[in-house]
Chain A
Amino acid sequence: MSYRPCGVYHQFYRQDHAWWQTKFVWGKMIFLGIFIFVLFPKFAGMYLISVANVVGYTILSAMGVQLLIGYCGQITLGHAAFLAMGAYTCTLLMLQLHIPYPIAMIFGGVVGGIWSVLFGLPSARVKGFYLIMTTMAAQFLTVEFFITQYVSQIGGRGVAFSIPPGTVKIGPWMIRNDLDVYYLMAILVVIFTFIMANLGRSKIGRAWIAIRDNDIAAETMGVNIVYYKLLAFFVAGFFGGIAGAFWVTSLAAVSPEHFHFGWSLWLVGVILIGGVGNIHGVIFGSLFMTLIPEGLKFFIFILTQNPFFVNIMPFLPLLLEKFLFVKEAAFGLAIVLFLIYEPNGLSYRWWQIKNYFNLWPFSY
């Protein structure tokens, strides 16, 4: 919790527990809402919208990772497996049984959750490094074996399931282009953030945080550790499944390559850079990890357009051509440097800045 500005006093507990405590914050949030739902889609071009969709997908996927790592302290390196389960369940239900998209999406979430609990079961016996190994095994067993070899055979469509245009619709609202995907993404992000924030401050969230901080003490205080750990795995898998089912809308075809091991690690990196144990962390991490590489790419592109810079640095066009690898290396370096120099992540910086202005000019 951050400090309140000078001169704001609370008289009721209700005020103390409110998310948005002052008129200024209300105004800020309403402006943010208008910006996301009205201004941004109206004025941003198609390129920015598609970048925003990637940011939103990263937020949705990283939310479950944040829950497991940041809140419950159970490191997961196989979250893409749960995304994949959600995406494939949703797609198969739509293509094979012609179930409407929203219901298929919720089924995808439930299957993702159950799958996650299945691989979370060892967490009742082991923790730390051994649990990391289990979740990693989940990634390989699910995506590389189960989905690639078995699930992809259903219906005889080949490895990639292409989704005919017009299949994905919510009631009368057909999701056809990036703009529709953007609106769906924005709604889902708001819902996810709302659920996550409120879970975090309820009994369940307190139990998770207790398990993260000291599991033995939590058990002595009467927290049912196994139950709450498995609940954390279920909710995280559910978030993952929904996120995967959402991403189906913007993919022309669902295939196992979208859910590889690198993406699992990427999600962990997102919350490490954003800040662990903090919802802001997910959002800042996703923004940083998507916008910085895009900006970098744009910068290199501009440099290559100018013959002067290309003469100085002849490797520039090659760099642009192999940008994917540059991005990967930069991402790895970013994780390492953040862990060494800013272990609390971007959200801690944000918290400091906010408090500085809230307390200004009397900082003591």
Chain B
Amino acid sequence: MEIFLQLLITGILVGSIYALVALGWTLIYKCSGVLNLAMGELTLIGAYVCLTLYHWGIPFIFALLLTLLIGFILGILTEVLFLRPMVGEPVLTVIMVTVGLAFFFKGLVMLVWGTDTVVFSPPVFPMQPIFIGKIVIGQVFLWAFVASLVLLVAFVSFFKFTKWGLSMQATADDEMAALSLGVNAKVVYALAWAIAFMAAGVGGTLLGNINGLNISVGYLGLLVLPAVVLGGLNSIPGAIVGGLIIGILQNLADGYLSRYTPGGVKDVFPFAVMVIILLFKPYGLWGWVRIERV
């Protein structure tokens, strides 16, 4: 039972990071209909920027805030330079643009920062674990959970209560109606990318704190896809719950299934789950059901 609880809690803590990145992904999809396959590279860029700033001697909190700012600028730049010319093109063409962007960003990251694993030194969070009953939790996980929770709440309240958030919701719901009511769609698209970049950057930074930072952190961006498919592509609560569930499932699979296989279950289990969801419930938990007979 302790093992189960331990795995469950670790899963929730890691899943909250996935939820944060998945939120950014869903946002882009909701607002502009772009299915973004470059999410992993966005996390990489954010993480490396934060690491560089931290190593320059800037305190972690400020480094994180600066990362958010840089992510904001990069997100707007990406949207304006690469995605805006593609507005109105077929969905699959736009997906391929994001694949191209993924290669571009990854190449740049490896060119600038190399491929070796780097760690945040000195460590940002204290190393001593916390004991709750018999369950051991690393402080890194706990702080990552807190940070992603804070950001999730911040982003969600941004949508609910600010003018820009409301206009983003309106665009996502019905673009034509939103345009006729005076919502500036260009700003909304750019804002969606900016927020996705920011969320991904923070997610990458937190993951980099847990395991050290190398190119495989970008793999997180692919784990986001099972999460959003599970939650339904265009549902923000779906993305959050999907991220948490994927985190939990991944840890449970690691704990219970890895003794039956030579290894590697942890990495592929979310994808196996995704295939099963796609076969039986392709619109996820709360996605819009569009009945398209194939």
Contact = CB atoms under 8 A, between A and B. Distances in A.
B282 A125 contact: yes
B294 A335 contact: no
A333 interface: yes
A272 B96 CA distance: 8
Contact of A332 (B107, B222, B233, B263): B107
Given A331-B103, A335-B103, A343-B93, A149 B275 contact: no
Q: Choose among B96, B105, B264 the residue with the greatest number of A CB atoms under 10 Å from its CB.
A: B96
A153 B264 CA distance: 14
Given A137-B274, A336-B82, A269 B279 contact: no
A122 B104 contact: no
B271 A141 contact: yes
Given A126-B294, A269-B99, A326 B278 contact: no
B96 A126 contact: no
Nearest to B93: A339
B294 A137 contact: no
Contacts of B278: 122, 125-126, 130, 133-134
B65 interface: no
Contact of B95 (A129, A140, A148, A149): A129
B95 A336 contact: no
A149 B261 contact: yes
Contacts of B292: 127
Contacts, number: 135
A52 to B, nearest CB: 24
B264 A125 contact: no
A289 to B, nearest CB: 12
Contacts of B154: none
A330 B266 CA distance: 33
A252 interface: no
Contact of B103 (A75, A144, A150, A329): A329
A122 B279 contact: yes
Contact of B92 (A128, A130, A134, A149): A128
B101 A336 contact: yes
Nearest to A119: B275
Interface residues of B, number: 45
B267 A144 contact: yes
Given A130-B229, A134-B275, A330 B107 contact: yes
A306 to B, nearest CB: 23
Contacts of A134: 275, 278
Interface in B221-241: 222, 225, 229, 233
A140 B268 CA distance: 6
Contacts of B106: 328-329, 332
B92 A133 contact: no
Interface string B79-107: 00010011001011101110111111111
Nearest to A323: B111
A328 B263 contact: no
A265 B106 CA distance: 13
Contacts of A272: 96
Contact of B99 (A216, A265, A329): A265
B5 interface: no
Interface of B: 35, 37, 82, 85-86, 89, 91-93, 95-97, 99-108, 110-111, 222, 225, 229, 233, 261-265, 267-268, 271-272, 274-275, 278-279, 282, 292-294
15 contacts: A127-B294, A130-B278, A133-B229, A140-B271, A141-B272, A149-B263, A268-B99, A269-B100, A332-B102, A332-B104, A332-B106, A335-B96, A335-B103, A339-B97, A340-B97
Given A134-B275, A265-B99, 6 more contacts: A75-B95, A136-B225, A215-B294, A327-B107, A329-B104, A339-B100
